[in-house]
Amino acid sequence: MSKVTFALQGITVRVDAGASLLDAAIQAGILVETPCDGTGTCGKCRAKASSATGLIAGVYANDLLSDAERAAGWVLACQTKVIGDVTVEVETSVDDGLKIISDGHELAVKIRPWIRKVFQTELLTTQVYGGAKLLATEPSDTTQFGYGLSVDIGTTTLVTSLIDLANGQELASASSLNPQARQAQDVLSRIKLGSQPDGLRQLRNDLMTEINRQIGEATAAAGVIPRHIYEAVFSGNTTMLHLATGTNPASLGKYPYTPSLSGGCHLPAEIVGLAISQHGLVYLPPIMSAYVGADITSGILATALAHEGGVVLFVDIGTNGEMVLAVNGTLVATSTAAGPAFEGMNIACGMRANRGAIERVSLTERRIDVQTIGEGEPIGLCGSGLLDAVGELAATRGVDANGRFQFKDESWPWSKQWDVLDGKPIFRIAGPVYLSQKDIRQVQLAKAAVRAGIELLLKSNDLQASQVDRVLIAGSFGFHLRTESLIHLGLLPPEFENRVHFVGNTSKSGGRAFLLDYHTRDEMMSVTQGVRVLELANDPAFEKTFLRSISF
């Protein structure tokens, strides 16, 4: 056994000889960015050892670490094996100042919760009902204490909202990163890990521990006793709901991609492991397919998409680009794998939306203006800053239609920002933050996946982009974006200008609507059963459309 000490965290663990530094970090409970899931292709799991004697560094692409970093002792944790005692410093993902959008477009609903209380005056007891079923009998009059939760379970982030069922008021909320990222970063890797009993147990335990911590934070802030919370709505993609309920997700990773859960049902909170009333329930909204999940169902509800006239496109931009097209209330949905670039991952200076992350970039009058989260010194690019920066380069011809840097064009107004790092051209934005040619390619691939989904969704209804009346951009990440950047990139067609509306976290706000008005549940079950799901993997036109969409 070898001893690994993480100097910055003050944690020491013992691992078998030959284990990776990343394995040691996971064992220590340290969240290290690994968007490539430890394949050595993203360069995010950087570690600096006090001595090289306890490590064997693996082989990985030269552009993942600069020559100066290698000389200073930096390695990639996922590709470096431990062969002796060693002290290291690792670059971790922390949520100090993390900017998670929890607000979303709210649907006005009648207050008709599934949970209701009836005080029995002759018995001096309160009966708690879930629908028509008696869930519990409590001593004395507790009718004034009735609460619920809307829980948005995202691949990257978690948001828990505490709601008063009597009036619909949000009393408190809590948010954080999804701790499952310690084990596996994206949906596909979590499906793979969750297909094994031990992996499923670990992913579920990590998730429920964090949600219960959020419940404790929210109830403490609001002065609410957790046993008076009787129902929670879990709104998340199909994989996240499988993992949250301990359901094996293996069927989601292989053809014909059939979910084991269909949603539209309750589970006992005690079985799920939720720290609320022992008689409480967890409601899962209806699921449409393996990759169009309950979070999109909540989005359809929150935006009343099924009741909209005309042509409305709903797009949730994130690691997975999920979208729904409504044509006079008739819905078609699809999903496309955008990858982690929109989260700032697989990008040289990419980072989460933490303090110091550049979230806005504009090129004006031969200067570069940036805005950082928390007004801190720029230390990296979060997703919105990345798309702004690339969008500005595309709009000003700093990159050509194929995405190549035009660094030899000295007449370009911002040509002084071109530089060379390890023999390759880069564009310096502010401080240590820059864009590489590889970064541009990652954005092109991500935006092409979303644009191809939009194009094929419209084509399936014989529609042109000019015929779309409104475009609703949902999701925490989407809330930070600018319409002009999305159009400059080509992620959205130019016809969408002046038609884009940012609706925020509709997964959470739709969950609140499900919680407060149980009539919405039958309605949305009927709506989702009528949704036609377009499987892009089976569409022969997808590859051609994707390749065409790569260009700016």
What letters, b where the CB count within 10 A reaches 16 and e where it falls short, cover 288-305?
bbbbbbbbbbbbbbbbeb
Domain at 115-298, CATH homologous superfamily: Domain of unknown function (DUF4445) (3.30.420.480)
Same CATH topology for 2-90 and 302-340+443-549? no
Does residue 255 carry a pLDDT above 80?
yes
**Rounded mean pLDDT, 361-379:** 92
pLDDT digits (tens, 9 = 90+) for 61-95: 666 777 777 777 888 888 888 888 888 888 665 55
- Looking at every residue in the chain, the average pLDDT score rounds to 90
Name the residue among 288, 304, 291, 311 with its Cα closest to residue 461. Answer: 311
Domain ranges, ordered by start, for the chain: 2-90, 115-298, 302-340+443-549, 349-433
pLDDT digits (tens, 9 = 90+) for 423-473: 999 999 999 999 999 999 999 999 999 999 999 999 999 999 999 999 999
pLDDT digits (tens, 9 = 90+) for 147-161: 999 999 998 889 999
Q: Are 76 and 46 in contact (CB under 8 A)?
A: yes
**Rounded mean pLDDT, 232-258:** 96
* 30-39, 126-135, 462-471, 491-500: least confidently modelled range: 30-39
Q: Are 449 and 321 in contact (CB under 8 A)?
A: yes
Q: Can you tell me whether residue 337 is helix, strand or coil?
A: strand
- In this prediction the pTM is 0.87
Band (pLDDT 50/70/90 cuts) for residue 547 is very high
Name the residue among 442, 499, 500 with its Cα closest to residue 474. Answer: 500
CATH match for 2-90 among 3.40.50.300, 3.10.20.30, 3.30.2350.10, 3.40.50.2300: 3.10.20.30
By percentage, how much of the chain surpasses pLDDT 70? 95
Domain at 302-340+443-549, CATH homologous superfamily: ATPase, nucleotide binding domain (3.30.420.40)
> CA–CA distance from 81 to each of 59, 184, 428, 464 (Å)?
11, 19, 34, 54
